[in-house]
Amino acid sequence: MKERTLSSRAHILSGSYDPAFARRVAREIDLPLEDTLLTHFANSEVKAEVPAVRGDHVFVIQSHGAPVNEAIMEQAAIINAARRASARDVTAITPYRGYGRADRPDNSHESYMGPLAMRILEAAGANRIIEVDPHAGQSAGFLRDVGTEYTPIPSYPAIQEYIAEHFITGEDDNVCIVSPDSGRAKLNRRYAEYFNRPRAIVDKIRTGANQTEVMNVIGEVAHMHCIMIDDMIDTAGTIVEGAAALRARGAEDVTVIATHGIFSGPAIDRLTAAKQDGTISHIAVSDTLRLPDNTPDDLVETITVAPLVARAISNVFHDQSVSGMYR
């Protein structure tokens, strides 16, 4: 009898939120973005059908941008279809994961959506979840099955490259790395140490959901080119107030960089006004989320993280470490 040779292929699939991003990832590793049939019923239910994937590795790429719940259920449906089609391995890649900020409940009578959203993907059949720049480190403990892997991908290699290309010009460039709050200070220390530049912190008090009150700036920012880096911009209230505080204390200009450009509600109007009046000079976000349709062409620059996601896919497929890429 002829000896049977076992082989496995990688398949890149995507939901409907941003197939262009998935296509960029696929191109980085010379793979096609394969067709997934998504059926949306009149009552908003969804059904997914995937190509032949028996015995293969499947990577389902979907950011959970608005409408968030629809994006999550689409990805869960594709994962479940791949698992039912006898895929050997199913990885959920969520460049931006919905409910990432719901990392702890305020009391015992409210829902705990952070773990719930991740467990939906796990229950659908994902045996691995990869996301870019999670909001909370405790996300790794949200999954029920100890066999389900969780791996965060940091965006700092792409952001460091962007900063080096656009702002680091020499020892006398007067660049200062700014944290928009104390919680971001530890992460932003990496940038300050990498570029050997001073750093500052905007000290703030949050007064409610999507509302903050800037209290003070820790560090010297007068006559400095401030680069304020955060993991996300939602309604842009926090980042605009932080930039205004820096400018009021003598900063030469303020550049704002974030991994996830959520840009909810008044965000685009606020950022447009801040750029027009000189509060903010430059704005850049990664491509984990689509820019809103009403975004002016010259308002926001995009930093791609597709190569980072592609490298993670390649390492998973070849049974190599993903977290080890960033040590």
Q: Is 160:139 a contact under the CB 8 Å cutoff?
A: no
Q: Based on the residue annotation, tell me whether 2 is a catalytic residue of this protein.
A: no
Instruction: Dig out the tokens for 162 from the structure.
Output: 């962007």
Instruction: For the chain, report the end-to-end CA distance as a whole number of angstroms.
Output: 48
199 Cα distance to chain centroid: 23
Q: For the packed helices 237-248 and 267-276, what is the interaxial angle rounded to 10 degrees?
A: 20
Catalytic one among 2, 47, 186, 204? 204
Instruction: Spell out where the chain has E strands.
Output: 10-14, 37-40, 46-49, 57-61, 89-94, 128-132, 149-153, 175-179, 199-208, 211-218, 225-233, 253-261, 282-286, 301-303
Question: Which of 186, 222, 223 has the alpha carbon at shortest distance from 201?
Answer: 186
Q: With CA atoms as reference, report the closest residue to 214 among 240, 183, 176, 252.
A: 240
Residues annotated catalytic, as ranges? 204
